[in-house]
Amino acid sequence: MIGSAVALELVRRRVGRVVLMDARHAGEGMSGRSSALVRMHYSFRPEVELAVLGRRLYAGWLDWTGAPSLLRHTGFVRFVGPGEEGHLRQNAAMQRACGADVELVEGARLRQLLPGWRVDDVALAAYEPMGAYGDGARAAGDMVARARDLGAEYRPRTQVTGLRRHGDQLTGVDTDQGPLAAPVVVCATGPWTSRLLATVGIRVAIEPELHAVAIVRPVQGAAPARLACIDSRTRTYFRPDGGSGWLVGDFSGPRGVDPDDFPQQPGLEELASLVTRAAARVPALGEAELIRGYTGIYDMTPDAHPLLGRMPELDGLVVACGFSGMGFKIAPAVGVVLAEMVSGAPSSVNVSAFRPDRFQQGEAIRVPHAYQDD
C-alpha cells in the first residue's frame, strides 16, 4: 500500500505519466496481512510526525480517496517496560508537541479505563483516545482506485524482475510483461527490496522477519474487546477484531525467511504461547477460542526505522521500504512526502534521518528516549 499512496500523490501533483505495477493485485501482499493499527506513539519525532499526518489523511479518507472511512475507533494504550516511565513521559510530551492526542494515565484512572485487565504492575501508561485500526487490503485498493480515476496507469499481475541502468542513471525497469522506460522509479517493494536492488548492484540493509498473528473469540458472556494495546511487559500487541473478537500479535519472529515461500500459518503451539502471554494482561484471552492464525513479513532494517529517499548510487532511484512493522499507519503520509520529494516540492515532514545510505555512513538512527523493544 506504500506504492499505492505514492502513486496517488504523484498523479495528484500532475508530475507526468505515473505507472503503478503490482506483482498480483492491490493489497494481496503484506498489506493484506497487516494488523493495521493506527496510533501515534513512537519515540522518534519524525515517525510521530508521519503518524500524525497519516492519521489526518485517514480521518479525511473520503476527501482523499473518494471512499468511505475504513477506520474502526477503539482507543489505544501503550505499556512500557519496567523503569521506562521516564522515557514514556518524555515521549508523550514530544508527541503532544507534534499534534498527537495522548494522555498519561495511572492508578484509578488506568483501572477505570481498562476494566478486567491486570494492571497492578503498571505505574504509568500512555492513552490515545483516537487510536483505531483499519484494513490494509482495502486501503491499498481505495488508493489505487482513486489514482486510476485521476489518470494513473495500474498494471496488476506485472512482476518487476529488475531495474535498468545506464552508468549512474536509472533508465527503467524490466518486467515479465516487457521493459518500461522511466527516469524515476519509486521502489516500494517491502521484503522484496533487497532482491530487486541487487539487479543493479545495490545492497540495502533489509532483512525479512516472520511474524505470527492469532484471531480469537471470547467465550460467551465475556466482555467484548475494547482498546488496542502494545505491551512491552508481555511482548505482545492486541486489538479488537470485528465484533467481539481479538487480534493478538507478536513483537518478533525468525529472520531470513523467503517472502515468496514462508509458512502461511503459525503452528498451534506458537499461537497458544502467543495468546497465553497476552492473557497475562487480559485474562479473558486465556479462555478465548482460537479461530485461526496467519503470518506476515516485516521488512526490518538494522535500527528498525524505514529507508526513505533517493539512492545516491543511482540517479532516479527512490526507495520507500524497511518499515519494520509501521507501514500501515504512516503509508498515506509517506505517499505525500515521497511525492513531494520526486516533484521538488517542500516536504511536509523532514525525513532526512531516514536516508537510505545512513548505515554505510555509520549513522544509524539513535533515539533519545528509546524503549528497550523499539
114 within domain boundaries: yes
For residues 34 and 328, is the Cβ–Cβ distance under 8 A?
yes
One domain, residues 223 and 102: no
Q: How far apart are CA 150 and CA 78, in angstroms?
A: 39
Q: Does residue 346 have a pLDDT over 90?
A: yes
Q: 87 and 235 share a domain?
A: no
d(Cα 309, Cα 319) in Å, to the nearest integer? 6
Mean pLDDT calculated for residue range 151-174: 97
> Would you say residue 55 has pLDDT above 80?
yes
Task: Copy the grid coordinates of residue 224.
Answer: 467484548
Confidence of residue 224 (pLDDT cuts 50, 70, 90): low
CA 27 to chain CA centroid, nearest Å: 13
Within-domain flag for 64: no
Partnered with residue 79 across adjacent β-strands are 231
CA distances from 204 to 158, 174, 176, 244 (A): 23, 20, 23, 42
Would you say 355 and 205 are in contact if contact means Cβ atoms under 8 Å apart? Answer: no
Q: What is the length of the chain?
A: 374
Whether residue 49 lies inside any domain: the answer is: no
In the chain, how many domains are there? 3
Same domain, 144 and 200: yes
Residues 261 and 152 in one domain: no
Phi, psi of 112 (to 5 degrees): -65, -40
Please say which residue of 282, 298, 314 terminates a domain. Answer: 298
User: Cα(235)–Cα(278) distance, rounded to whole angstroms?
Assistant: 8
98 and 45 in contact (C-beta within 8 Å)? yes
Is 285 within the bounds of a domain?
Answer: yes
Read off φ and ψ for residue 269, nearest 5 degrees. Answer: -65, -40
Distance CA 85, CA 293 (A): 33
Task: Report the percentage of the chain scoring pLDDT > 90.
Answer: 93
Domain edge (last residue) among 129, 164, 188: 129
Q: DSSP string spanning 80-119?
A: --TT-HHHHHHHHHHHHHTT---EEE-HHHHHHHSTTS--
Residue 16: give its domain's CATH number.
Answer: 3.50.50.60
Helical segments of 13-151, H only: 45-59, 61-65, 85-97, 107-113, 136-149
**Phi and psi at residue 41, to the nearest 5°:** -85, 100
d(CA 246, CA 243): 9
Scan for cell 467484548, then name that residue.
224
How far apart (Å, rounded) are the C-alpha atoms in residues 359 and 204? 9
Average pLDDT, the chain: 95
Lowest-pLDDT choice from 120-124, 131-135, 211-215, 217-221: 217-221
Confidence at 27, pLDDT banded by 50, 70, 90: confident
Note the pLDDT of residue 213: 97
Q: What is the mean pLDDT of residues 185-206?
A: 96
Is pLDDT at 220 greater than 80 in this prediction? no
With pLDDT > 70 as the criterion, what percentage of the chain qualifies?
Answer: 99
Q: Are 240 and 225 within 8 A, CB to CB?
A: yes
Tell me what pLDDT residue 221 has: 62
CA separation for the pair 141, 177 (Å, rounded): 22
Q: Same structural domain for residues 192 and 214?
A: no
Same domain, 155 and 276: no
Q: What is the DSSP letter of 225?
A: P
Span 351-364, average pLDDT: 96
CATH of the domain at 267: 3.30.9.10
Question: Residue 29: is its pLDDT beyond 90?
Answer: no
Asked whether the predicted pLDDT for residue 231 surpasses 70, the reply is yes
Examine the domain organization and report whether 12 and 90 are in the same domain. Answer: no
151 plus 231 within the same structural domain: no
What's the pLDDT tens digit per position in 86-141?
A: 999 999 999 999 999 999 999 999 999 999 999 999 999 999 999 999 999 999 99
69, part of any domain:
no
Q: Do 215 and 182 fall into the same domain?
A: no
Kindly state whether residue 70 falls inside one of the protein's structural domains. Answer: no
- Is the separation of the CB atoms in 118 and 38 below 8 Å? no
Task: Give 37 or 221, the one with higher predicted confidence.
Answer: 37
pLDDT of residue 242: 81
In a domain, 368, yes or no: no
Residues 122, 261 within the same domain: no
Per-residue pLDDT, 219:
76
Distances in whole angstroms, Cα of residue 75 to Cα of each of 53, 111, 225, 227, 236: 18, 15, 11, 5, 17
Residue 223: the pLDDT is 65
Find cell 508523550 and name the residue.
Answer: 92
**370 in a structural domain:** no
Task: List, for residues 257-283, the tens digit of each pLDDT value.
Answer: 999 999 999 999 999 999 999 999 999
What is d(CA 285, CA 290) in angstroms, rounded to the nearest whole number? Answer: 9
State residue 267 phi and psi, 5-degree precision: -75, 160
Same domain, 221 and 90: no
SS3 11: helix
The whole-number pLDDT of residue 222 equals 67
Mean pLDDT computed over 294-318: 97
Report strand pairing: 37-38 vs 132-133. Answer: antiparallel
| Judgement on whether residues 291 and 152 belong to the same structural domain of the protein | no
Domain that holds residue 154: 2-32+136-204+303-354
Specify the residue for cell string 480517496.
65
Q: Which of 298, 317, 332 is the last residue of a domain?
A: 298
Q: What whole-number distance in Å separates Cα of residue 370 and Cα of residue 151?
A: 43
DSSP 340: H
What's the CA gap between 354 and 304, in Å, rounded? Answer: 11
Residue 161 pLDDT > 90: yes
